[in-house]
Every structure is written in structure tokens, then in C-alpha cells.
């Protein structure tokens, strides 16, 4: 009888194991029957995947399922930047530092050639990637300062007309009987006279017996014009940023853009030289002031703007061709025009300063008597602005700081106007 009991006990154990396996598979969503579960014991392959089931309503659990902690889906790792690499957006390839160095080399080349508007092209990639790798921090800082220089130089030289080079033309050095020389892009002999057109566009006739013509190459021409320019700025006051700007503008106009950049670098070092933006930048943009400070090394490239910008940014001075105050009244469409600024107000003085700057700018692109006329008109406008400001400070003493700043700007331009007129002031 003992073997009967032992056999019965074994069958109970096996049946319990089979039933337990059946319940386990049902809990996983399998539709496998009990006898299929028994057959599965004799196969080494894993059970087939559970078929797709209808989504169960939220909060409802199958019978017999114990509540469990909510499973948080694993976040796909994007990896950490390797040493010497900048992090980029997940959908963008990682930028190799050598690529960034190549971009910086291109920007340096553009700056050295005087192509200031092209300097920042390609540097955005470096600036956007800055800060991830301390080893490349200095590269990003250099890129930021270079971009700032390119931006401010392009801004204050915007609108300067570059003299057309006499490429493709036969250039002659014209030596007059008194020893003076000039360059001609056209020299035609007609009888005893020579018709001459200079490289500056002046046309005249001269007796052939009183001059000597000798052809020169374009390289010789540019070399001599550069030497002539350098001689002309030897006595320049290098602490006067307006004189420096004028020399840079002249260099740029003559086609020596890289030399213009070198002179403007000298201007950057002069305290208060950001005033040039007020005078000569066509675009009124407060961020240019900070860009000038970054370019000059007086502000950190990645510092917050509020930490380095002046508490009160200089008010932009409009220098449009028509800056005369308009009197109040009705327009053709029925709307009222803004009233004219009071004659003894800061706004009126600002308008006068703007007119003075406009005439001063015109004088930079003029020659001889025309330039002198423009300078005299500039002085007249600046003097009137000064008279207005003297009255403003008496009536509005709280504006003294702003008035003194404006008077300083007037004095800088006035002195330069008189120097150019030959008064030696």
C-alpha cells in the first residue's frame, strides 16, 4: 500500500505544478489552455508571445493582478560630450573642434583683408557651442571679440563709397615741370597739348613740353598711393578718436580696407571712443555700444549685457537729410502732425547736433571748397546746439549730466572741423 500512497503524492505534486504554470501564463495574457500548458513542459522552446489585446480602461486591473508601482519609461541617453567636443542638438552631428578652428581661421582672414561685414559669418557655430569644453573657452572668446570688431567696424564704415580702382587701365605717372606728380588713367596727346584724366576724376589739358609721362603697373600705383596716405597721417593726433576715424574712413575709401581696420583698432583703445557710434553708425542699435566695449577688451564677451552696458545708453541722434522741425497742423489724411520741439529743449538741441553731424559726414566725401562749405555749415549747427544747451541747463538743472555729455560731443566735432579748415584750433 505504501507505493500507492507515494504514487498518489507524486501525481498531486505534478498536477499542482502544471496548474500553477497554467495560472502564470494566463496572468501574462496567454490564451493557452490547460492541456497545452502540459504539452509545453515537453518542449524546450519558450512560450509564444502574448497576442495583442484590447486596451484596458484606466485604473481597471485584471482579476487576480496585484497593484504595482507605476513603471516609468526609460529615457534614451543622449550621451555626454567627449573631451574636446562641443555638445550640439540631438538631431545634429557633433562638431569637431578642428572644424571650429577652421571657421575661426576664415574669420581672421576676412578681418585681415578688411572684409568686416563677413567676419561674423561662420562664427555663430563657435559662439553657440561655447562653454561646454573649458579647453576651448579661449577659442570662443577670441571668436566673440573678432565678431564684435567686425560688427562695429562695418557699422561705422557703412555707406563709405570706395574709389573704383583703375584696374585694366593704363596708368601714367605725370611729372610736371615744377616737380609735382600725379597719376593719370587717361593721357591723350593732341598736337602740342595733352588731355589728362587723373585717378581722382579731374580732367584738364596741359602743354606736352611742360610734363613727362611714364607708365606704371597697378602694383606700383597702389604702393605709391599707400605711401602717400601714410605720409598724410603722420601728424595725426592718435588720442583723438575722431581724427582716427577720419583717417580710417579715408583709407577705406582709397581701397586700403585692412589699413582702415588697423587705425580703428587704435581708436578702440581711446577712452570714450564708442561715441563714434553715435556720430557715424547709420543703424541705431544700443547693443553696438556693448559690442564696441567687447571689441576693445573693456567687457567680457559672455558677460550679461546689464553688467557692462551704461546705465543710460546714449540717445541716438537722427541724421536724416530732412531733420527740420515740422510745425503742428493737419495732414492731407486728416491726422495731426506732431508739434515742433520747443526751441529751448533738449530735443531741439539733439536735432541741431544731428544736422551738424550730417554736414560733417558730407564733408568727408567732399574735396576742396565743397568740403569747406560743409564744415562751416556743420559748425553753425553745432554752435546753435551749444547755445540751446546752455539755456537748457539753466532752466532744467536736473539734466546737467546729459547736457554736459552733449556739449562734450559738440566740442569734439567742432575742434575737428576747425582743424580741417586750417584754423589750427
Task: List, for residues 234-256, the tens digit of each pLDDT value.
Answer: 888 889 899 999 999 999 988 89
Does any domain span residue 263? no
Residues 151 and 185 in one domain: no
Q: Which residues of 19-38 are buried (b: 16+ CB within 10 A; e: fewer)?
A: eebbeebbeeebebeeeebb
- Say yes or no: 346 and 410 in one domain: yes
Measured CA to CA, the distance from residue 316 to residue 283 in angstroms comes to 9
Choice among 55-64, 107-116, 354-363, 402-411 with the minimum mean pLDDT: 55-64
Q: Tell me the average pLDDT across 315-328.
A: 42
Query: Residue 374 domain-assigned?
Result: yes
Distance between CA atoms of 137 and 127, rounded to whole angstroms? 10
CA distances from 339 to 329, 330, 391 (A): 8, 11, 21
End-to-end CA distance of the chain: 136
Q: Measuring CA to CA, which residue among 99, 177, 85 is closest to residue 133?
A: 85
Least confident of 83-97, 104-118, 375-389: 83-97
Between CA 199 and CA 364 the distance in angstroms is 18
**For residue 300, is pLDDT > 90?**
no
For the cut 70, the answer to whether the pLDDT of residue 327 exceeds it is: no
Predicted local distance difference test score (pLDDT) of residue 252: 93
Last residue of some domain: 185, 202, 217?
A: 217
- pLDDT at 303 (0 to 100): 55
Q: Does 109 have pLDDT greater than 80?
A: yes
Count of Cβ atoms closer than 10 Å to residue 238 Cβ: 14
Quickly count: other Cβ atoms within 10 Å of residue 421's Cβ. Answer: 15
Decide: pTM greater than 0.75: no
Q: 405 and 376, same structural domain?
A: yes
| Domain of residue 358, residue span | 342-421
Between strands 203-207 and 211-216, the pairing is: unpaired
**393 or 340, higher pLDDT:** 393
- Specify the higher pLDDT residue, 422 or 11: 422
Mean pLDDT calculated for residue range 213-219 = 90
Count of CA atoms in the C-beta half-sphere (13 A) of 419: 14
363 is written with which cell numbers? 564733408
Q: Sheet holding 181-190: strands in order across?
A: 203-207, 193-198, 181-190, 171-176, 211-216
Q: Which of 58, 6, 50, 54 is nearest to 31 (CA)?
A: 50
> Do 129 and 187 fall within a single domain?
no
Instruction: Give the mean pLDDT of 331-347.
Output: 54
Residue 281 located in a structural domain: no
In this prediction, residue 24 carries a pLDDT of: 56
- The answer to which of 128-137, 295-304, 345-354, 355-364 has the lowest mean pLDDT is 128-137
What residues are paired with 15 via a beta bridge?
Answer: none
Is position 301 within any domain? no
- Report residue 143 CA to chain centroid gap: 11
Specify the pLDDT at position 137.
Answer: 74
As a whole number, the mean pLDDT across the chain is 74
Cα separation, 185 vs 171, whole angstroms: 5
For residue 332, the tally of other CB atoms under 10 A from its CB is 5
3-state secondary structure of 58: coil
- Output phi, psi for 298, to 5 deg: -95, 0
Q: Examine residue 21 and state whether it is found in any structural domain, yes or no.
A: yes
Confirm whether 297 is domain-assigned.
no
What's the grid cell of residue 310? 551704461
- Per the structure, the count of domains in the chain is 4
Mean pLDDT, residues 104-111: 91
Q: Is the pLDDT of residue 316 over 70?
A: no
Q: Which residue has the higher pLDDT, 176 or 34?
A: 176
Identify whether 189 is part of a domain: yes
pLDDT-based confidence at residue 39 (cuts at 50, 70, 90): very low
Residue 266 has pLDDT above 90, yes or no: yes
Q: Are residues 402 and 358 in the same domain?
A: yes
**Do 130 and 199 sit in the same domain of this protein?**
no
Q: What is the mean pLDDT of residues 264-285?
A: 86
- Asked whether residue 133 falls in the same domain as residue 193, the answer is no
Is residue 85, in this structure, part of any structural domain at all?
no
Longest alpha-carbon distance in the chain: 153
Query: Within this chain, do residues 190 and 152 fall inside the same structural domain, yes or no?
Result: no
Confidence of residue 280 (pLDDT cuts 50, 70, 90): confident
* Residue-level pLDDT at 68: 47
Task: Please determine, for residue 344, whether its predicted confidence score (pLDDT) is greater than 80.
Answer: no
- Residue 134 per-residue DSSP state: G
The DSSP call for residue 166 is -
More confident residue, 9 or 91: 9
Which residues, other chains included, contact 359 with Cβ-Cβ below 8 Å and sequence gap of 6+? 374, 375, 377, 378, 381
Amino acid at each position: 500500500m505504501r507505493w500507492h500512497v507515494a504514487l498518489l503524492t507524486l501525481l498531486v505534486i505534478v498536477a499542482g505544478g502544471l496548474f500553477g504554470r497554467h495560472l502564470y501564463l494566463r496572468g501574462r495574457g496567454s490564451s493557452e489552455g490547460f492541456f497545452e500548458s502540459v504539452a509545453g513542459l515537453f518542449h524546450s522552446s519558450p512560450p509564444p508571445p502574448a497576442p495583442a489585446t484590447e486596451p484596458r480602461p484606466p485604473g481597471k486591473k485584471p482579476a487576480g493582478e496585484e497593484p504595482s508601482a507605476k513603471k516609468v519609461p526609460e529615457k534614451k541617453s543622449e550621451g555626454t560630450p567627449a573631451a574636446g567636443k562641443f555638445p550640439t542638438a540631438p538631431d545634429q552631428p557633433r562638431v569637431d573642434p578642428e572644424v571650429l578652428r577652421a571657421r575661426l581661421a576664415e574669420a581672421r582672414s576676412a578681418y585681415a583683408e578688411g572684409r568686416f561685414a563677413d567676419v561674423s559669418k561662420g562664427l555663430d557655430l563657435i559662439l553657440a557651442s561655447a562653454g561646454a569644453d573649458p579647453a576651448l573657452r579661449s577659442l570662443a572668446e577670441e571668436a566673440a571679440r573678432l565678431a564684435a570688431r567686425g560688427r562695429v567696424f562695418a557699422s561705422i564704415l557703412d555707406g563709405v563709397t570706395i574709389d573704383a580702382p583703375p584696374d585694366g587701365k593704363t596708368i601714367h605717372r605725370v611729372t610736371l615741370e615744377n616737380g609735382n606728380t600725379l597719376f593719370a588713367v587717361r593721357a591723350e596727346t593732341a598736337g602740342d597739348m595733352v588731355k589728362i584724366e587723373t585717378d581722382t576724376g579731374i580732367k584738364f589739358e596741359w602743354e606736352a613740353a611742360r610734363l613727362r609721362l611714364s607708365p606704371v603697373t597697378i602694383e606700383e600705383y597702389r604702393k605709391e598711393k599707400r605711401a602717400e596716405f601714410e605720409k598724410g597721417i603722420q601728424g595725426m593726433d592718435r588720442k583723438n578718436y575722431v581724427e582716427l576715424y577720419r583717417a580710417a574712413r579715408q583709407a577705406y575709401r582709397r581701397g586700403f580696407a585692412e589699413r582702415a581696420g588697423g587705425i580703428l583698432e587704435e581708436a578702440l583703445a581711446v577712452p570714450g571712443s564708442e561715441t563714434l557710434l553715435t556720430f557715424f553708425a547709420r543703424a541705431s542699435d544700443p547693443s553696438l555700444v556693448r559690442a564696441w566695449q567687447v571689441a576693445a577688451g573693456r567687457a567680457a564677451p559672455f558677460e550679461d549685457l546689464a553688467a557692462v552696458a551704461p546705465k543710460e545708453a546714449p540717445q541716438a541722434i537722427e541724421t536724416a537729410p530732412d531733420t527740420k522741425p515740422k510745425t503742428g497742423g493737419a495732414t492731407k489724411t486728416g491726422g495731426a502732425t506732431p508739434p515742433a520741439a520747443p526751441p529751448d529743449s533738449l530735443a531741439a538741441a539733439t536735432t541741431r547736433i544731428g544736422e551738424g553731424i550730417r554736414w560733417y559726414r558730407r564733408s568727408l566725401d567732399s574735396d576742396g571748397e565743397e568740403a569747406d562749405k560743409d564744415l562751416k555749415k556743420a559748425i553753425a549747427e553745432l554752435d546753435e546746439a551749444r547755445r540751446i544747451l546752455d539755456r537748457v541747463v539753466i532752466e532744467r538743472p536736473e539734466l546737467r549730466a546729459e547736457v554736459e555729455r552733449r556739449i562734450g560731443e559738440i566740442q569734439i566735432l567742432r575742434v575737428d572741423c576747425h582743424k580741417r579748415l586750417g584754423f589750427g584750433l
